[in-house]
Amino acid sequence: MPRFSPEARKANQALVDLLGRLAQEKQATPAQIALAWLLAQKPWIAPIPGTTKRHRLEENLGAAALQLSADDLRGIEQAAAHIPVQGARYAEAQQKMINR
């Protein structure tokens, strides 16, 4: 996964830091903020986070109770617009398998 290469992770740390700051304000985890953001996008979006650990499942479920205000969502969007995500989502071979 090119997006998780050491170089891309270093470049994308600014986005992780943004979610971390908001998580501290909301007394939540960055993962909960990310999931709550997804849930706030459209009513038909259903994030499917994967985990094998019960405590992570409980953490993920906590995102459903987290309310992000319109200001929170706007702040995330505005800050994220200034942070270019580095690294492709999929490796080249995997990308060729999409929408065939």
Instruction: Note the pLDDT of residue 79.
Output: 86
User: Which tens digit of pLDDT belongs to each residue from 3-20?
Assistant: 788 888 888 888 889 899
User: Which tens digit of pLDDT belongs to each residue from 44-78?
Assistant: 999 988 899 999 999 999 999 999 999 999 989 99
Separation of alpha carbons 38 and 59, rounded Å:
15
Give every CB contact of residue 22 below 8 A, 6+ residues apart in sequence: 33, 72, 75, 76
Q: Cα–Cα distances in Å, from 58 out to 25, 38, 53, 66?
A: 20, 17, 9, 13
